[in-house]
Structure 1
Amino acid sequence: MPGLAILLALYPAVPGVSAGRGWTAHHNAVVSVSWNVVMFGTGLLVSRYLRRFDARRIWCAGLAVMAVGYTLVGSYHGNELELILTSCVANIGAGVVVAGAPALVVGVVSRDEQGLGSGMLNMLISLFGAIVTAGAYAVLAADSTVVDGTAFYLDTGYSCIFWLGALVTLVALLLSLFIPPLHDPAEEDAADGTPLA
């Protein structure tokens, strides 16, 4: 979704042809700093509490906030303030999800499978990222205008891709209800008699 939001920011604003904001790359970078800092800070904060609380609940809360955020971005993205506020909500959730994913992997596999589990996580992120991106471009293309071979996207398409992001996030939330109970790798090491680092 953040990658597709760049199209919204940089494409021109031409009534009936293109519903972009028409920002320069510099202006987009300045505006987007806010939600990127929010995501970074949220990830740092949440990572400190993952061992104190059930990481599954933290993960699910992050997905729920992210879904709400993407829904809001889809509805409110008409100017800088709207994009900053709605994207910050989405990125609070994204920060929680990014921080929680490795903890979930480590918590459901054995110590010997942690490398394999982490590799699978990265592979699945890339796979589903490619699938969702292709779907999002199909949604954008359904509400586009082609001028001299270049597709320009209307506002309905932009709204729909963010709502698609919210839908995918809700599906992930439903699937997350089936995550098995997590174990603490430190407790596993203690049970095996392995000295803790």
Structure 2
Amino acid sequence: MPGLAILLALFPHIPGVSAGLGWTAQHNAVVSVSWNLVMFGTGLFVSRFLRLLHPRKVWIAGLVVMTVGYTLVGFFHADEVELMLTSCVADIGSGIVVATAPVHVVGVVSRDEQGLGSGMLNMLISLFGAIVTAGAYALLTAHSTVVDGTAFYQDAGYAWVFWLGALVTLLALALSLFIPRLRDPELDDVPSG
């Protein structure tokens, strides 16, 4: 989603043709640093307390906040303030999810399978990222105006891209019900050598 927000920021604003914000790359970088710092800070903060909290509940809370955030971005993305506030909400959830994902991998696989589990996590992130990106471009294309062979995206397309993010996050929330019970890796028997 953040990668697709770059299209919203950099595409020109041409009434009736393109609903982009028309920012420069530098302006986009300055504005987007806010939600990136929020995600980074949230991930650091949450990771410090995961041993004291129930990781599944933290994970679910992160997905709920992320869903709310992407829904809000879909409705409110017309200027810097709207995009910063709504994206910060989404990235609070993202920071929580990024911090808790490795805990779930380590908590459901054996010590011998942790490398494989981590590899699967990264592979699935890439796979679903590719699928969601293709879906997002289909939504943008469905709400576009083509001028001299160049597609310019309308506001409805951008809104649906963020709502797609919310729907995918809801799907992840539903699939979270099937995560096996987490075990404490520190309680595993350590093989004597």
Q: Name the counterpart of 1:158.
A: 158
The question of 1:63 aligning with 2:63 is answered yes
| Distance in structure 2 (CA, Å) of the matches to 1:178 and 1:117 | 16
**Paired residue for 2:73?**
73
User: 1:187 — aligned with what?
Assistant: 187
CA distance in 2, matches of 1:193, 1:141: 56
Shift of residue 142, structure 1, vs aligned partner = 0.2
Residues 137-182 of structure 1: per-residue CA shift (max 9 Å, x gap): 0000001011111110000000011001000000100110121111
Residue 118 and residue 31 in structure 1: after superposition, are their counterparts in 2 closer, same or farther (change >3 A)? Answer: same
1:85 and 2:89 matched = no
Q: Which runs of 5+ in 2 are unaligned?
A: none
Aligned to 1:178: 178
Aligned mates of 1:139, 1:86 — CA distance in 2: 21
Runs of 4+ in 1 over 2 A off after TM superposition: 191-195
Name the structure 1 match of 2:33: 33
Structure 2 distance, partners of 1:108, 1:56, is 12
Q: Which residue of 2 aligns with 1:119?
A: 119
Alignment-derived partner of residue 146 in structure 2 = 146
User: Aligned partners of 1:42, 1:97: CA distance in 2, in Å?
Assistant: 10
Residue type matched to 2:157 in 1? G
Amino acid at match of 1:17: V
TM-score by length of 2: 0.98
Provide the identity percentage. 75
**1:141–1:187 CA distance, 2 compared to 1 (3 A):** same
- Number of aligned residues: 193
TM-score of the pair, normalised by structure 1: 0.96
Report the Cα offset of residue 192 of structure 1: 3.5
Give the Cα separation in 2 of the matches to 1:117 and 1:92: 25
SS of aligned partner of 1:6: helix
Gaps of 5+ in 1: none
Matches within 5 A, 1:41-52: 41-52=41-52
Q: Deviations over 1:50-104 (max 9, x none)?
A: 1211111111110000000000000000110000000000000000001111110
Give 1:12's aligned residue. 12
SS at match of 2:49: coil
Matched, 1:23 2:56: no
